[in-house]
A and B are shown apart, each in its own frame.
Chain A
Amino acid sequence: TQLLEQSPQFLSIQEGENLTVYCNSSSVFSSLQWYRQEPGEGPVLLVTVVTGGEVKKLKRLTFQFGDARKDSSLHITAAQPGDTGLYLCAGNQAGTALIFGKGTTLSVSS
Chain B
Amino acid sequence: NAGVTQTPKFRVLKTGQSMTLLCAQDMNHEYMYWYRQDPGMGLRLIHYSVGEGTTAKGEVPDGYNVSRLKKQNFLLGLESAAPSQTSVYFCASSDPRAGGAYEQYFGPGTRLTVT
Chain A residues engaging chain B, CB cutoff 8 angstroms: 30-31, 33, 35, 40-45, 48, 50, 88, 90, 92, 94, 96-98, 100-103
Contact = CB atoms under 8 A, between A and B. Distances in A.
Contact of B106 (A43, A96, A101, A102): A43
Interface string B42-77: 111100101000000010000000000000000000
Contacts of A30: 100-101
B109 A42 contact: yes
Contacts of B4: 42
Contacts of B50: 96
A101 B102 CA distance: 16
Nearest to A9: B40
Interface residues of B, number: 26
Interface of B: 4, 31, 33, 40-45, 48, 50, 58, 90, 92, 96, 99-109
A31 B90 contact: no
Contacts, number: 59
Nearest to A31: B101
Max count, chain B CB within 10 A of own CB: residue among A41, A43, A44: A43
B93 to A, nearest CB: 11
Contacts of B44: 100
B108 A45 contact: no
Nearest to B56: A96
A96 B103 CA distance: 10
B42 A97 contact: no
B48 A50 contact: no
Closest 7 CB pairs of A and B: A42-B106, A102-B42, A31-B101, A100-B43, A48-B101, A43-B106, A100-B42
B109 A97 contact: no
A33 B42 contact: no
26 contacts: A30-B101, A31-B101, A33-B104, A35-B106, A40-B108, A42-B106, A42-B107, A42-B108, A43-B104, A44-B106, A45-B104, A45-B105, A88-B42, A92-B101, A92-B102, A94-B100, A96-B48, A96-B50, A96-B96, A97-B58, A100-B42, A100-B43, A102-B40, A102-B41, A102-B42, A103-B42
